[in-house]
Chains A and B, each alone.
Chain A
Amino acid sequence: MADKTKREKQSVQKIISNVLYMLKFAAKFTPSYIFGMVTEGVVWGIIHSCTSVIFVKMLFDSLEVGNFRNTAGVIGLMAAFSLVTYLFHVWYWNIFNPMIRKKLNVRMQEVLFEKARSMDLECYDNPEFYNDFVWATRESDGRVASILENIGKLINRLVATFTIIGVLLTIDFLMVLAILLLSAGASLFRLWRQRIQFNRQQEEVAVNRHRGYISRVFSLPDYAKELRISHVSDLLTDEYDKILTQKKDIIHRYGLKGMQINALEGALHNLFGECGITILLIVRLFTGVIALGDFAAGINSIWKLYWQINSLTEFLIQYPEHSLYVDKFRKFMNYEPKVTGGDKTVPSLQEIQFKNVCFQYAGTEKESLTDVNLTIRRGEKIAIVGYNGAGKSTFIKLLLHLYDATSGEIVWNGTDIRKLNLDEYRKNMVALFQDYQIFAATLAENVLADTYTSDMEHTVIEALQEATFTERLQTMPKGIQTPLTKEFAEDGINLSGGESQKVAIARAFAQAKLRNSDVIVLDEPSSALDPMAEYELNKTILECTEDKTVIFISHRLSTTRMADRIYMFDDGRLIECGSHNELMALNGKYAEMFLMQAEKYTASIA
């Protein structure tokens, strides 16, 4: 995702504001991290400069005086300094930093998780928003820490740079000036190289994406069957060859540019820099301006200072990218969910009414639901039928208040649901979706969709029984504590499609009981089941939900006969409504659909 994001220009002001924004999180969650990082920056910056410059200069000075005891003293001091500071350094990087970094990452991710859960479902329909969001969440594992550590390194380099400059100034002012000029020149080259690098990456994005895709097809289990029974691998290999040609072209063009920069940079670095400054120092030495010790210390420090300044710019140029990330991050943090509900408590259901409800997904040109009017009363069994894309699932999503209607209103016992407390409202409904998920958790947790405590055992087992899962349960040695999927446990069990669906159904039953929900919504509950299991399921649904309102979507019309009322949707409109017998008598679209499905059965029995 990250490679898809376009880079916008980031002003310095914005970058600073963004970095501060993230620092606030670090300050809130892990203040000791900031303290540790600054300390390490200063301590390590000083060690670097001390050992590499100050001490070497002291050493040369004492050598010139010719007193061995002094010299030994300087070396002893160096050793002591190294022993102590390095102790801090290894502790910081091996223990303190990884631990606190992890803590901060966890907190940051949790902040985003919380936000993610409150985001409207609508956000998931907007691919741009969604991609950015996924990127931001993925990156949240580590990004703040990187920003923070970047600051630490910056401090370290700044401390080191100033210390070294201070020492060098005591040797020769002209040399320091030359190095600074050189560094400035090198930074310009770095920026140039950076820009070319960036252009190259832009060109390579598409190529790499394509290449990654082909590798994935060859290695993912999803495609393994198709690769074996067809010749699609030839096609993919041809595509791969095409990509390589493109890649070769990119390498060639940018390689030539790289050569030019290399030559110019080398001239600056080797000839003006290395050679020039060495000659400068030689002249100074021979004309007696500086002593031999200073000469040696000077040669020793040039490259250290040069390196420090260079890496200083290296860290600075990372900030625009960090800032870009923070932009996205802030966008989510500032996002205000639109579906919020109100503050009224939710009374027990008498009836729920759709009044002229229209709905249109953001970014689409056509309404998914148009002028829907209907009333569902307590305890009714309702079937929603229609062809694919008729608006059945959208109807359910509106009912669950996952979206707000574009126009019209949905009324619960006379109150607009937008005025009702959202959590409470949703708790009053239980939904089983077509694309239900089995979570990597224990069977019991999957059924409860909540944390399991031992007093829930009965509920779990009963729900599984109602979903006709008992037989399978008996084959599981760990019973309801069996971990599902192999995500967390080696001995986890991967359920088949039909078995998963039964667990999902059990989830709906258990939830309805625990929350004492008034409404159960079932979206194609039996699609993965064989006829026998489907038959049993339908029976139990009727038996265990006597007083509850059940709304189920099905395109197998055989199941609709048990409904009190059937709503037929077509192209976003509610076109027919009534009991099975009434609709058959009406001889409209429902009857047509039913007869078509029934035809083969009846023909072959008669």
Chain B
Amino acid sequence: MNPKTKNTPSWKHIINNNFYILKIISKVVPELCFMLPIRIIVYSVIQFITNTWLLRYIINGFQDGMDFKKIILIVLFIYLFGFGIKQLFAYYENVHAPKIYLRLEEYIQKRIFEKNTSVEYACYEDKVFYDKYVKASGDLYNRVMGVLQSMLSFFHVVITLSMYSFFVLSIDPYLVLFIILPVIISFLLEKKKNIVQHEYNMKSQEENRQSGYTSRTFYLADFAKEMRLTNIYKVMLERFENSAQNIIAYIRHYGLKLATIDYIINESKEVFSCMGAMLYAAYQTLVTGSMQYGDCLVVINSVQALIYTIINVSNAIMAFHRNSLYIDTIREYLDYEPKIKDGELDAPESGELHIDNIRFRYDGSDKDVLRDVSLTIRPGEKIALVGHNGAGKSTLVKLLLRLYDPTHGTISYAGKNIKSYKLAGYRNRFGVVFQDVRLFAMSVKDNVVLRRTRNGDEKCVEQALTDSGCIEKIRSFEKGIDAVLTREFDDDGKILSGGEGQKIAIARAFAKENSILLLDEPSSALDPIAEYRMYETLMKACAGKSVVFISHRLASAVLADRVILLEDGEIVEEGSHSELIKKNGKYAELFRIQAQNYVTEEVMV
């Protein structure tokens, strides 16, 4: 948390932040930084001439008895000229500029993609960090455009305001006072209003999030059964109404403040400036006679136009402020140094994994998840990690993958600390199947290789799918391995069941050459026969590979060369299945409990 964002940020800070974004824009698409201001200047000048200057010219001309044909010619010329200039900009506005924006979007999105993949995995598990940074980063392009927009509209106001000021000055210098004052009031009050608005948004956002959740429980299919069969809907409804009540209370509280500020800002513009200026002009014309009648009409006519412009300045200022808060967050995120650092060496194709006396504790937790764990995984070895839920099995897998670094101790691969290897290359040595399989909205082939496809991939993919036991399903698709999965954006996309998805994930691991397989309970969604077949083929297909698999169905542990029993973060027993059964310790006890129900008389006979 940055303390700066908590207090009211200074103007310097706000300007600094907005310029930070402007710098990005000028770096990526520099032409935007001069084309847009030029366009604004040209448009503002045309607007000023046609709206104000021309009126004064006509009225003065009328009073001086000018020939009206000449006036009409001037009017015609000015409008035609204005029209012509606008057409010159048409191509830029409609075709060229949108493409430039697209380039900006590309740059920003890719930078975010890169950042999101380079920050360590822990950032995704830390909900506060995730919500504050990772989630927020998705909005960066819109915010950059927002900054650009508010800067442009601010620029527009400055240009217009200065043109009008000079114009009004030439009529009567005192009139400027009527313009300056509301600008100052706006400046002071808008900031205040913004703070109130922000406070209100923060509070109601939380409530909105909550009522969003409760309303989802009512309409999403996941909750449908429980909402029908139990009374939990009453609890949800109560929560929903609670949030609504809280929001209404916030509106009442903050609404009054906002209304007051709004009222003052507006009336200072309308009554003080607008009507004040009119009264002053009327006085100077009718009483002192120092202002011409025509000028007076012009002042009255243009003062309102001016007011509308001033309203824009407050919007722009508000936007600067609002964007600044967001930019604080995004700068912190972009400057965030991933804790899992890249090494320099290339990871060799094979080697021994050696875990040396490691200890690990999650951030913010007060308990070690792993304690004094030492383990060596030799190439080609099959290792089963077993133990209760929460014993630290999955954490160990995450440490091997360097999704986390151990708090103490080292893990080495082929004799070197894994921290010294290039991260991507090191991780690429592993084929991993997690419990929560995610399929991508891409072709089956892409889903299996998970990289850019190369020549000869088809064979490899087919083999991997055959080994994982879902080739038949895939062949039943018209496009075979080129069929697109999920209906994300292809209405003909194929939807796979949980078990089939898991098989695809297993195929992923098979398709990687020379890899060490890590399997985090891949069989949980499979029925017994499918599970049996999977393990059978798995061991056959991985003859030369190292395999580390987690399971709480101990039957599969039998297939391993070595069984590691974890309890409460420590390795309590280690050895082959038969050794451990002979030892008659904890593993043997666990195994018996599971086997008990199967070992019936019929089977034994």
Contacts and interface: CB of A to CB of B under 8 A. Distances in A.
A388 B497 CA distance: 10
B31 to A, nearest CB: 16
A218 B304 contact: no
Contacts of A263: 87, 90
Contact of A86 (B79, B229, B267, B603): B267
Contacts of B430: 229
Contacts of A230: 427-428, 450-451, 508
Interface in A60-115: 60, 63, 66-68, 71-72, 75, 78-79, 82-83, 86-87, 90-91, 93-95, 98-99, 102-103, 105-106, 109-110, 112-113
B529 A232 contact: no
B113 A218 contact: yes
B555 interface: yes
Given A63-B296, A63-B297, A99-B248, 17 more contacts: A59-B282, A68-B287, A71-B286, A110-B237, A121-B228, A221-B124, A230-B428, A231-B452, A235-B452, A244-B106, A282-B72, A440-B210, A488-B213, A535-B594, A597-B555, A602-B598, A605-B591
B221 interface: yes
Nearest to B389: A498
25 contacts: A68-B283, A86-B267, A94-B256, A95-B255, A98-B251, A99-B255, A113-B218, A133-B219, A137-B215, A218-B112, A218-B117, A221-B124, A225-B121, A230-B427, A251-B99, A286-B62, A292-B294, A389-B497, A402-B225, A449-B226, A450-B230, A555-B528, A559-B597, A598-B599, A601-B599
A191 B135 CA distance: 38
Among B76, B121, B287, B598, residue most surrounded by chain A Cβ atoms (within 10 Å): B598
Given A217-B440, A439-B217, A79 B229 contact: no
Given A67-B286, A72-B282, A228 B79 contact: no
Interface string A582-606: 0011000000011111101111111
B215 A296 contact: no
Contacts of B225: 121, 402, 431, 433
Contacts of A112: 218-219
A598 B133 CA distance: 50
A600 B95 CA distance: 69
Contacts of A584: 600, 602
Q: How large is the interface on B (under 10, 10 to 19, 20 to 34, 35 or more residues)?
A: 35 or more
Interface in B542-559: 552-556, 558-559
Interface string B257-279: 01110110011001100010011
Among A72, A213, A449, A596, residue most surrounded by chain B Cβ atoms (within 10 Å): A449
B297 A266 contact: no
The 7 closest A-B pairs by CB, nearest first: A255-B95, A558-B597, A231-B451, A449-B230, A598-B598, A275-B79, A601-B595
B255 A94 contact: yes
A282 B57 CA distance: 12
B593 interface: yes
B68 A283 contact: yes
A290 to B, nearest CB: 11
A371 interface: no
Contact of B234 (A251, A279, A450): A450
B403 A601 contact: no
Contacts of B113: 218, 233, 236-237, 240
Given A133-B219, A527-B524, A605-B595, A237 B237 contact: no
B95 A251 contact: yes
Nearest to B432: A229
B344 to A, nearest CB: 19
Contact of B293 (A63, A90, A601): A63
Contacts of A585: 602
Contacts of B450: 226, 230-232, 235
Contacts of B528: 555-557, 593, 596-597
B604 interface: yes
A439 B343 CA distance: 43
Interface string A250-268: 0110011011001100110
A292 B297 contact: yes
Nearest to B97: A255
Interface in B152-190: none
A234 interface: yes
B219 A116 contact: yes
B110 interface: yes
B14 interface: no
B283 A225 contact: no
A71 B282 CA distance: 7
Interface stretch (B36-44, B239-247, B321-329): B239-247
A604 B98 contact: no
A256 B94 contact: yes
A286 B232 contact: no
A56 B302 CA distance: 12
B82 A435 contact: no
